[in-house]
Amino acid sequence: MKLYGIPNCTTVKKARAWLADHALDVAFHDFKKQGVDAAWLRAVVAQTGWQALVNTRGTTWRKLTDAEKAAVADEASAIALMISQPSVIKRPLLERDGTYHLGFAEDQYQTLFGA
């Protein structure tokens, strides 16, 4: 398992705490320090869709110009934005057994892990 995100993100912190509280060992990938790979993003987008993966509620998105926002019109443009600004990727993103799970909610993780 691997959890992707940014360590100072509140939701990422909640997910990491929940996983630790349930003794689930998970590697952490820091988007800011380790970056993102185009091939990896394409694999995630294939499962989640690019619209779900772009966090349009976050600060990074809100700071984009209207032209930059409008330019995100398809998978290729969304991936280009996520590579250049990884903070725009919805987080946390949990990879478990080859499947990606977006966001964190306690009931979502309880169902996922049977906890």
* 80-107 confidence digits (pLDDT tens): 999 999 999 999 999 999 999 999 999 9
What domain count does the chain have?
1
Task: Look up the domain containing 60 and give its range.
Answer: 2-113
- Two structure tokens written together for 13: 């912190």
pTM greater than 0.85: yes
CATH of the domain at 64: 3.40.30.10
Q: Which member of 3, 4, 6, 9 is catalytic? A: 9
Amino acid 90: pLDDT? 96
Strands 27-30 and 2-5, bridge-based pairing: parallel
Q: Is 9 a catalytic residue?
A: yes
> How many angstroms separate the CA atoms of 69 and 111, rounded?
34
